[in-house]
Structure 1
Amino acid sequence: MPGWLGIVSRSVIFLLLLFITTKIIGKKQISELSFFEYVAGITIGSIAGEVVTGLESNMYHGALAIIVFGLVTFLANFFSLKSKTFRDIVEGRGTVLIKDGKILEENLKKEKYTIDELSALLREKDIFRFADVEFAVLEPRGNLSALLKKENRPLTPKDLQMKVANEKEPQTVIMDGKILDEPLRSAGKSRGWLHTELEKLEVTLDNVFLGQVDTYGELSIDIYDDKLKVPTPAQRPLLMATLKKTQADLELFALETECEISKEMYKKNAVRVQEAINKLTPYLNG
């Protein structure tokens, strides 16, 4: 067999073998690596490179070595799930670097991190003053988890005692100018509704690169021509404006009429519309 053909065949075999081994080990191997997985991954790649290029005379020995390393890594992950002690040994534990706005220098030295490196990790979290941090932990994967002091945290609707609507995953109903029926059904919509919405936006299906239906049943699209502007969905703001106008008109009618029966009716209905506005505000705002 020619040398180049041997390298090609070995490359294909070991690419498949490495792929299968990585699938067995799990997604963790290709996302965030522990020290053990990092060493195992480098070793597996080195063995494969040696065998593929022919530096290793026995191809089967190389394959066996990869299987062994893959099996050991798989078993390490398995026992990590079963035992916290084993997991702490293999994957490590988090180290507190900042507590109550104060940097713990001893822990910083222990992890061999400099102030500049710590500052860089904080800036990745959009934190520029260590004094603003209540608690910061260097995780076993090397990323920093930081909790700001309460006075420095962004306000949330809960802090303002505001009710907000629950949101669901947007459904992609158009891709590359083609309708995706399954996501459309999941959104509770039909093709007829979709074509009607496209007509409102004055675009044709062929011109739509991507179309999504959000929690509130509104269609957002991206068209191929980036220079053209597409109107944003306005059903919810328009409905809110209509309700507010209706409530204001009812109050005005109640003030202008001299008939006590009509006045009472207008006031009663104005209150009902206001109650509906209060309930629908989390869903119709924005």
Structure 2
Amino acid sequence: MPEYMVIVVRSLFTFFFILLMARLMGKKQIAQLTFFDYITGITIGNMASAMAINASLQPIDAIIGVSIFVVLTILIARGAVGSMKFRKLVEGSPTILIRNGNILEKNLSKVNMSFDDLMMGLRNKNAFKLDDVETAVLETSGKITVMKKTENTPLTPKDIQLPVESEHTPSLVIVDGSVLTTRLRYLGYSEEWLHGEVMKQGASHFKDVYLAQIDSKGNVYVDLYDEGRKTEQVKQKPLLSAQLRKIQADMESFAIQTDNQAAKQMYYSQSRELQNLIDQINPYLKE
């Protein structure tokens, strides 16, 4: 077999082997990696590259070496989870750099960090003034976390006892011109209502829409295809029809949500009356 084909085969094998090893090691955010994880990753990467292109290295030797590193890494990670002392031995412990607004010079020296390094870490956390910082900690990942003084912390609605409506994950309801009907119904909306919403934003049909997303408050974000964007006014008659159907859909949604039987019956009754009205005026609203 030609040498270049040998490298191709070894490279493909190495790629999928390292992919398998990575899956076994589990997920870990890059920002949370310790120095040990970093060095282990580099070592495994060097072994993998050697296995791919070093023809004098037997693949089985590289596989054994990588497997040992992966197994040891998994065992150490599991040991760190189960034992605080072992975790401290392997990963170290966080170091406080600023306490009660005062810089701890000895701790800076202990972790070989200069004042410039400290200031850069604080600026990364939007703390440009030392006077704003209550506590700063160097984590085992090498990142600096900052707690600002209470008077310098931005107010939240909870701080001023302002009631706010909870936000939930928004959902896509149109992808590439196709309505995700099942998801739309699960969210409690009808296609007629959605059609009215996309018309407000310049679309004539669902096929004009590349993506549409609904948030937890019922607001719709619509992104049209570039060639389908319109600058002219949306036609009012079809829009009125869509708005009426939206109101009807809202009534049916309210009926489903309420546990009050009288209110439920009222919503359904009004929905039927509105449907009769729509049927009567619909011929006049068509363009």
Please classify the TM superposition score into its range, dividing by the shorter chain length: 0.7 to 0.9
Deviation by residue 1:128-151 (Cα, 9 ceiling, x = unmatched): 011211111111111111111011
Counterparts of 1:228 and 1:146, CA distance in 2: 48
Q: For the aligned residues, what is the CA RMSD?
A: 2.4
Aligned to 1:112: 112
Which whole-Å CA distance do the structure 1 matches of 2:98 and 2:196 have between them? 56
Is 1:88 the counterpart of 2:53 in the alignment? no
Whichever residue aligns with residue 6 of structure 1, its letter is V
User: Once the 2 structures are TM-superposed, how far is the Cα of residue 190 of structure 1 from its aligned partner?
Assistant: 2.9
Residue range with higher mean Cα deviation, 39-48 or 205-214: 205-214
Matches for 1:132-147 after TM superposition, within 5 Å: 132-147=132-147
**Cα distance change of structure 1 residues 124 and 31 upon mapping to structure 2, 3 Å threshold:** closer
Q: TM-score, normalised by structure 2?
A: 0.74
Q: Distance in 2 between matches of 1:73 and 1:29?
A: 16
1:59–1:30 distance in 2 versus 1, CA, 3 Å: farther
Residue identity opposite 1:36 in structure 2: F
**CA deviation digits over 1:165-222, x for unaligned, max 9?**
1111111112333323344244222333222221233313233232111111121122
Residues of 1 paired with 2:157 and 2:232: CA distance?
30
Q: Distance in 2 between matches of 1:185 and 1:74?
A: 44
What does residue 210 of structure 2 align with?
Answer: 209
Moved more, 187-196 or 76-85: 187-196
Q: Report whether the alignment pairs 1:10 with 2:10.
A: yes
* Identity rate, percent: 39
Distance 1:120 1:230 in 2: 51
- Does residue 188 of structure 2 align to residue 188 of structure 1? yes
Written as runs of structure 1 = structure 2, the 5 A alignment for 1:121-132 is: 121-132=121-132
The answer to whether the Cα contact below 8 Å between 2:33 and 2:141 also exists between their aligned partners in 1 is yes
What is the match of residue 224 of structure 2? 223
CA–CA distance in structure 2, aligned partners of residues 134 and 228 of structure 1? 53
Q: How does 1:35-54 map to 2 (within 5 A)?
A: 35-54=35-54
In 1: Cα distance, 2:85 partner to 2:56 partner: 38
Distance in 1 of aligned mates of 2:91 and 2:6: 39
Q: Can you give the 5+ residue segments of structure 1 that lack an aligned partner in the other structure?
A: 236-286
Q: Distance in 2 between matches of 1:62 and 1:110?
A: 38
Q: Deviations over 1:215-245 (max 9, x none)?
A: 11121122344986899xxx9xxxxxxxxxx
State TM-score, norm by structure 1: 0.75
Tell me how far apart the structure 1 counterparts of residues 168 and 183 of structure 2 sit (CA, whole Å): 13
Partner of 2:23: 23
Q: CA deviation at 1:10?
A: 0.4
2:67 counterpart residue number: 67
Aligned length: 232
Name the CA distance, whole Å, in 1 between partners of 2:232 and 2:137: 45
Give SS of 2:32's match.
coil
C-alpha separation in 1, matches of 2:186 and 2:122: 41
- Where 1:27 maps in the other structure, the secondary structure is coil
Give the Cα separation in 2 of the matches to 1:169 and 1:229.
Answer: 31
